[in-house]
Amino acid sequence: MKNIIIAWRNLWRKPWRTAITSGSIFFGVLFSSVMTSMQYGSYGDMIDNVVKFYSGYAQVFTEEYYDNKSINNSFELTDSVIGIAENNPVITDYAPRLEYFTLASNEENTKGSIIIGIDPHAESKITNPGKWVERGEYLSESDDGVMVAIDLADFLQVDVGDTLTLLSQGYHGVTAAGKYPVRAIIKFPNPQLNKQFIYMGIKNAQEFFGAPNMVTSLVMMVEDHYDLPRAMRLLQKEVKPPFMVMSWAELQPELVQMIEGDRAGGTFMKGILYMIITFGIFGTILMMISERRRELGVMIAIGMQRNRLGAILFFETLFMGLIGVFAGVFASIPFTYYLYRNPIPVTGEVGEMFVQMGLEPQFTFSMHPEVYYFQAITVFIITLFIALFPIYKSYTIKLTRALRA
Of 91-100, 127-136, 386-395, which has the strongest mean pLDDT?
91-100
**Which residues lie below 8 Å from residue 24, measured CB to CB, with a gap of 6+?**
277, 280, 281, 283, 284, 324
Tell me: pLDDT of 402 over 70: no
Residue whose C-alpha is closest to residue 311's, from 373, 387, 402:
387
Residue 58 pLDDT exceeds 90: yes
Q: What is the pLDDT of residues 310-324, one digit of tens each?
A: 888 888 888 888 898
Look at residue 5 in the predicted model and tell me its pLDDT.
82
| pLDDT higher at 209 or 56 | 209
> Across the chain, what does the average pLDDT equal?
86
The lowest-confidence range among 182-186, 202-206, 263-267 is 263-267
Start-to-end Cα distance in the chain? 30
Residue 276: its H or E element: helix 253-291
Of 197, 195, 213, residue with least CA distance to 205: 213
Burial of 307-325, coded b for 16+ CB within 10 Å and e otherwise, reads: eebbbbbbbbbbbbbebbb
Higher pLDDT, 244 or 45: 244
Residues sharing a CB contact under 8 Å with residue 106, sequence separation 6 or more, in sequence order? 156, 157, 158, 162, 163, 164, 165
The yes-or-no verdict on residue 405 having pLDDT over 60 is: no
Least confident of 142-146, 184-188, 344-348, 380-384: 344-348
Question: Residue 373 carries which side chain, given as an amino acid letter?
Answer: Y
Share of the chain above pLDDT 70, in %: 96
Q: What is the pLDDT of residue 358?
A: 59
Mean pLDDT value across residues 286-303: 78
152-173 burial code (b ≥16 CB/10 A, e <16): bbebbebebeeebbbebbbbee
List 147's β-bridge partners, or say none.
184, 199
Q: Compute the average pLDDT of residues 49-64.
A: 86
277-288 confidence digits (pLDDT tens): 788 778 878 877
Contact 43, 351 (CB under 8 A): no
Alpha-carbon span 170 to 178, nearest angstrom: 12
Tell me the mean pLDDT in the region 247-257. 84
